[in-house]
């Protein structure tokens, strides 16, 4: 695997104060620079920026069926290591996150076996967190 650089992702949110609370307090992401209309977060070593956009209507909650579950599209997230995924899922359960797809093992016993979960931020942005049982299978067919 090549040496990956941090990615940068900017997403629209309806209310900056609500998004700031969710990402900083619920997901426990360190906050970086900010201004009146945006906030940077350290998203597991990547730069996530939430931009207030009160005119955004992006939360149509469209989905596709994957492994028998409705997966929201679009969505974004991160691949965690196996233990970190399970610790993070437990933290979210304690904080009463409402899951679109509860944490579970997808493609169990198959190539690409993974733990996954989906939920929405307060502005309707869908997030997926996952972990592969064998990270060498992330791009396996």
Domain boundaries 8-52, CATH class: alpha beta
pLDDT at 68: 87
In this prediction, residues 15-25 reach a mean pLDDT of 97
Parse the chain into domains and list their residue ranges: 8-52, 62-137
Residue pLDDT, tens place only, 23-61: 999 999 999 999 999 999 999 999 999 999 877 665 556
Cα-to-chain-centroid distance, residue 16: 18
Q: What homologous superfamily is domain 62-137 in, according to CATH?
A: 2,3-Dihydroxybiphenyl 1,2-Dioxygenase, domain 1 (3.10.180.10)
Are the C-beta atoms of 48 and 9 separated by less than 8 Å? yes
pLDDT band at 123 (very low <50, low <70, confident <90, very high): very high
What is the dihedral sign for C-alpha 3, 132, 22, 19?
A: positive
Does 62-137 match 8-52 at the fold level?
A: yes
Q: Which residue has the tokens 């955004």?
A: 56
């Amino acid at each position: 695997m090549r040496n990956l650089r941090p990615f940068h992702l900017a997403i629209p949110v309806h209310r900056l104060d609500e998004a700031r609370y969710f990402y900083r307090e619920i997901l426990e992401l360190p906050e970086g620079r900010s201004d009146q209309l945006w906030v940077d977060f350290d998203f597991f070593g990547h730069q996530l920026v939430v931009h207030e956009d009160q005119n955004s209507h992006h939360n149509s909650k469209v989905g596709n069926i994957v492994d028998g579950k409705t997966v929201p599209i679009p969505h974004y997230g991160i691949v965690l290591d196996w233990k970190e995924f399970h610790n993070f899922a437990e933290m979210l359960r304690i904080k009463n996150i409402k899951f679109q797809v509860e944490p579970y093992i997808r493609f169990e016993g198959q190539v690409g076996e993974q733990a996954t979960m989906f939920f929405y931020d307060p502005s309707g942005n869908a997030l997926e967190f996952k972990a592969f049982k064998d990270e060498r299978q992330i791009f396996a067919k």
